[in-house]
Structure 1
Amino acid sequence: MSSRVQNIRGMRDHLPSAMILRQHIINTLTSVFERYGFEPLQTPIVEYAETLDGKIGDDEKLIYRFEDHGGRKVALRYDQTVPLARVVAQYQGQLTFPWRRYAIGQSYRGERPGRGRYRELWQADIDIVGSASPVADAEILAVLTDALTALGFTGFTTLISHRQVLGGIARVSGLDDASAGNVYRAIDKLDKIGIDGVRNELLQSGVTPDAAERILALIDLYGSADDVLNELAQRLHDDERAQQAIDNLRAIIGYARAMGVPEERIAIAPRLARGLSYYTGAVFESIIQEPPMGSLLGGGRYDELIGMFAGRSIPTVGLAFGIERLHDVMEALGMGPESRTIAVALVTLFNPEMAMESLGLAQELRRAGLMIETTLDPSEKLGRQLQYADRRGIPYALVLGPDELARGEVVVKHLRSGEQRSVARSAVAGMLHAAAEAQRTPRIANEQGGIHER
């Protein structure tokens, strides 16, 4: 074993400058979730292995498994959806349905680490449990639209499909339901292996060349909701389940528009399969197209998963925001709060004799709701204190010397520009509050990927 001290590969340390952006993301998401009435839920990271077994399809091999000290087979949660299903089954007598819940926390996946792929990942989930209404699906779309907008994203599109549209595509191509799973799995790899790769996978799974071409032609449809749904309705007119799915998508999109989701934010994409096997209805994924940064989140309707635990059908729809993904994309685009430090100002200690007055000033400002650091060594030279603040990225330094104390003033120095001025002590808090608000104002990405202030 290497003697070098390091973290586990695929699991990241987040130093303070990164955590400020991550907390901004989490706080923004939480604020939007709660505006819609979603309630917080926290579940353990460790579950009994049997709770997770058979719930996530092909990715089950990625679950971290081990035995606890009592010899019980346990596992780290792969996502927050299966634990939600367990909670609903365990506490259904204490819950009122429909139940809106959100959960923010870590999940673990034993996959090979790479760019954008981690073994420990934070997710922010929202779900509406106990409603089969398309209004519930539409509300999820409204929440994700508001959340991404609040974070500063502008060039995003939410792709929507339906499991029974994909099933209809398979059926009209001559495949039975048993073979449709191969179609889902192949289509889900489209972004990774391309159209030729999907064609090869279909052929290798036993799909005839003619059927494969029909499938590829149908999943190639993409565009505005009304146009693509009309085209699908014509091409899948003989499949009753597909027609019902198309009607369901029309209802969802209609309600979403009523909730203020812009028409240009939604596109129908039959190729969207979503890899997890528990989806039963509408599925969706939000992507950044300009600049092309890929997927930000995904979700859909899963009406059978909770029933596997509860013993009765409890329809549910939800989604998961990938905090790692949001963080990496926002960092790459220069989005989020401009400052990467918490404190808005450092209160310096002019000399040992003035230390008590300066520490008192710091407390005044903290009690006024400001985030303030102080120098810890009263004998430290003022120049070194200012250098420290500058290296930390603290925007302002405050100096309270004997002359300022006598005049009831404080010297406020803006470290980036070097400008300084004397401000009445009673006005310092108001000035710093205004500066802190500007510091917190997130930068947003425009449609071309540029950055500007909100």
Structure 2
Amino acid sequence: MAAQKPGLARGTRDFGPVQMSRRNYLFGIIRAVFEKFGFQPLETPAIENLSTLTGKYGDEGDQLLFKILNSGDFFGKQKGIFVSESQSLANAITDVFSKIVTDFAQKFDFEDLRDQNFLNQKIKEKCEVDIFIAPFLSYLDTVDRSKFLAFLLKEDEGIAWYICDFFKETNYRWISENDNLQTINAHVKRFRNTRVKEITLGMLDDFDSKVLVNSISEKGLRYDLTVPFARYVVMNQHLHIFPFKRYQIQPVWRADRPQKGRYREFFQCDADVVGTNSLLCEAEIVLMIKEVFEKLGLADYSIKLNNRKILSGIAELMGAPGKEGPLCVAIDKLDKIGEEKVFEELRERGFGNNAAEKLQPFLQLSGSNATIIAGLEKLLAGSEVGMQGLAELKEVMIMVEGFGIKVDQLAIDPTLARGLSYYTGCIFEVKPTSVQMGSICGGGRYDDLTGMFGLPNVSGVGISFGIDRIYDVLDELNLFPAESLRTSKVLIANFNEASAMKALAVLGKLRERGIAAELYPESAKLKKQFTYAESKGIPYLLMAGESEFASGEFGLKNLQSGEQKTFTIDQIISELR
């Protein structure tokens, strides 16, 4: 068997010792801040039921779910089902085609039968009373009837199009039933052989893909940590007293297009509080963000703050109450595609022609937080829900000030949307300002996420740190401290087998006193052992040859300065601790 060239799946990465040391440094700081604010650790499985995940992230999010094939030869079984369904559907299409042609040929003028608009109207009338749609009724269990009818009447390659094409190619007139039935059957057979396969595959592609997916995949990799947490809360509500504060540091997976700062497998560090409506939680999230980035040495970043109720109010004032979901999806792309493209998308999503004009004043708000708040008070005056969201924002700002901690990076941004559909209140997003990178932290309040799993009216709020993007930012700015690299403190040189055996007791004593140490595993030239220690970032080399053991004093060489001193083992322990 030929050797296989190794490779990584797109959007994934290996992490060597240096990267892992730095990542653990990040995890350690974030974990310490979470615990300082009273959060407890939690883990959930990487694999969740698709029913748990789907419908929680909007249509675009659902498309990014990684689905797991069921065990066994499910594809083989589905292939057989697919072939069987294709045959049944082909028979149904042929039956409908034959009936329509036979019936129409007897009733209508030849010129009318070549008019697709005329045929569309007549087919629609028959389908409305289920005369000719009956062979398809089994497919309508999973297909919306109006969508199905639209397929039949498609202007290009729908059944009506083929029937019209049939009459255009056929020059017969209705003479006698037997003669013309024979002619019709001959043409129907030709139609079946040349066209039905195209329609069948088109219908199965258009309407049965979700049915096929559901039958071969029942599980998926988690998309985020919040929805699995909501599922956990519902299943374990009897174990916890609310409010319940948890943190979770685990990987998530998204079938996104890989690019700088965007991966298909990445870690999230989440902290959530459920079971309370208090805006104190939002204020503490702001403080946690500030403390984490202070400890990481990152000063150039912004914390954007908004409220989904403000976006609901904007939608209301745009004449589209209840359409804050599509509005958020469009506005969330503002930085990527610009205002004009956002306005264009809003029109495509059914917003009125004056939507852009009504949205524009909100997009133009700028200045200090006080200035933006004053502007929002005027613009949202006609929306009760919008004013409620603004009141919540103001209360969060007051609470943050009440801690006596200045957060200069905090800025109200009425265009902040956050694409996830479950947010209902305050939302947060953090972006670095000194490097080009997307959000490195985000979150918000969700009032009824647990309601999707049968536990209504449990409000929660949370934040998620994107560890992979934070790593990239710190790496680009050279903010990782040298001590973040965790390695052995000292390497004991191996001169020969006899001295190596004696060095084992020294190695054991160093480790017993809490000093990370190792013995080079084989006798080798000292230069090779130097190179090994330097490659791992080991700062000290301990000379432990026969003469050192004879005298009881050992050379300790600082590999960074090149300085070497002689100590007893006890003195070395004191020096290294």
Q: Same fold (TM over 0.5)?
A: yes
Indicate the larger mover: 327-336 or 1-10: 1-10
Equivalent residues in 2 for 1:407-422, closer than 5 Å: 408-422=552-566
Give the distance between the partners of 1:152 and 1:97, measured in 2 at CA: 34
SS of 1:103 mapped into structure 2:
strand
> Which residues of structure 2 form unaligned runs of 5+?
73-215
1:405 to partner: Cα distance: 4.1
Q: Alignment partner for residue 320 of structure 2, among 176, 186, 190?
A: 176
Seen in structure 2, the aligned counterparts of structure 1 residues 373 and 335 have a Cα distance that, compared at 3 Å, is farther
SS of 2:322 mapped into structure 1:
helix
1:222–1:270 contact (8 Å) kept in structure 2? no
1:145–1:261 contact (8 Å) kept in structure 2? no
SS of 1:4 mapped into structure 2:
coil
Give the distance between the partners of 1:350 and 1:224, measured in 2 at CA: 68
1:44 aligns with 2:48: no
1:143 aligns with 2:145: no
Equivalent residues in 2 for 1:296-375, closer than 5 Å: 296-338=440-482, 340-375=485-520
1:123–1:321 contact (8 Å) kept in structure 2? yes
Which structure has the highest helix share of the two?
Answer: 2
Give the distance between the partners of 2:546 and 2:9, measured in 1 at CA: 52
1:393 partner letter: G
1:115 aligns with 2:260: yes
Once the two structures are superposed, what CA deviation does each residue of 1:219-271 show, in whole Å capped at 9, x if it has no partner? 33244333321221122122221111111111112222333542312100111
Seen in structure 2, the aligned counterparts of structure 1 residues 221 and 404 have a Cα distance that, compared at 3 Å, is farther
Give the distance between the partners of 2:338 and 2:554, measured in 1 at CA: 63
Seen in structure 2, the aligned counterparts of structure 1 residues 390 and 178 have a Cα distance that, compared at 3 Å, is same
User: Percent of aligned positions with the same letter in both sequences?
Assistant: 37
Equivalent residues in 2 for 1:383-394, closer than 5 Å: 383-394=527-538
Indicate the larger mover: 383-392 or 88-97: 383-392
Q: Alignment partner for residue 257 of structure 1, among 382, 401, 417?
A: 401
1:30 partner letter: R
1:303 partner letter: D
1:143 to partner: Cα distance: 1.6
SS of 2:491 mapped into structure 1:
strand
SS of 1:29 mapped into structure 2:
helix
2:338 partner letter: G
1:23 to partner: Cα distance: 0.8
1:142–1:260 contact (8 Å) kept in structure 2? no
1:224–1:264 contact (8 Å) kept in structure 2? no
Give the distance between the partners of 2:338 and 2:571, measured in 1 at CA: 61
1:384 partner letter: K
Give 1:437's aligned residue.
none
1:123–1:320 contact (8 Å) kept in structure 2? yes
Seen in structure 2, the aligned counterparts of structure 1 residues 150 and 310 have a Cα distance that, compared at 3 Å, is farther
Give 1:152's aligned residue.
297
> Which residues of structure 1 form unaligned runs of 5+?
434-454
1:296–1:322 contact (8 Å) kept in structure 2? yes
SS of 1:263 mapped into structure 2:
coil
Whose Rg is larger? 2
Give the distance between the partners of 1:209 and 1:181, measured in 2 at CA: 18
Equivalent residues in 2 for 1:63-82, closer than 5 Å: 63-69=65-71, 73-82=218-227
2:319–2:352 contact (8 Å) kept in structure 1? no
1:199–1:216 contact (8 Å) kept in structure 2? no
Give the distance between the partners of 1:282 and 1:116, measured in 2 at CA: 25
1:186–1:201 contact (8 Å) kept in structure 2? yes
Give 1:449's aligned residue.
none
Q: Alignment partner for residue 382 of structure 1, among 526, 537, 544?
A: 526
Once the two structures are superposed, what CA deviation does each residue of 1:284-333 show, in whole Å capped at 9, x if it has no partner? 01111134444211000011111111332100000111121112222222
Seen in structure 2, the aligned counterparts of structure 1 residues 50 and 263 have a Cα distance that, compared at 3 Å, is same
Give the distance between the partners of 1:338 and 1:260, measured in 2 at CA: 33
1:222–1:267 contact (8 Å) kept in structure 2? no
Equivalent residues in 2 for 1:162-241, closer than 5 Å: 162-172=307-317, 174-208=318-352, 210-241=354-385
Seen in structure 2, the aligned counterparts of structure 1 residues 271 and 386 have a Cα distance that, compared at 3 Å, is same
Seen in structure 2, the aligned counterparts of structure 1 residues 419 and 97 have a Cα distance that, compared at 3 Å, is same
Indicate the larger mover: 205-214 or 176-185: 205-214
1:92 aligns with 2:242: no
Give 1:60's aligned residue.
62
Give the distance between the partners of 1:261 and 1:4, measured in 2 at CA: 55
Q: How many residues align?
A: 431
Seen in structure 2, the aligned counterparts of structure 1 residues 224 and 360 have a Cα distance that, compared at 3 Å, is farther
Give the distance between the partners of 1:65 and 1:72, measured in 2 at CA: 6
2:441–2:464 contact (8 Å) kept in structure 1? yes
Seen in structure 2, the aligned counterparts of structure 1 residues 354 and 100 have a Cα distance that, compared at 3 Å, is same
Which structure has the highest strand share of the two?
Answer: 1
Give 2:19's aligned residue.
18
1:38 to partner: Cα distance: 0.6
1:322 partner letter: G
Once the two structures are superposed, what CA deviation does each residue of 1:81-118 show, in whole Å capped at 9, x if it has no partner? 11111111111111110000011111111122222221
When normalised by structure 2's length, the TM-score is 0.71
When normalised by structure 1's length, the TM-score is 0.89
2:446 partner letter: Y
Indicate the larger mover: 219-228 or 317-326: 219-228
1:286–1:295 contact (8 Å) kept in structure 2? yes
Give 2:390's aligned residue.
246
Seen in structure 2, the aligned counterparts of structure 1 residues 2 and 188 have a Cα distance that, compared at 3 Å, is farther
2:250–2:269 contact (8 Å) kept in structure 1? yes
Give the distance between the partners of 1:224 and 1:12, measured in 2 at CA: 41
Give 2:274's aligned residue.
129
1:361 partner letter: V
Seen in structure 2, the aligned counterparts of structure 1 residues 405 and 336 have a Cα distance that, compared at 3 Å, is same
Equivalent residues in 2 for 1:421-440, closer than 5 Å: 421-433=565-577
2:372–2:412 contact (8 Å) kept in structure 1? yes
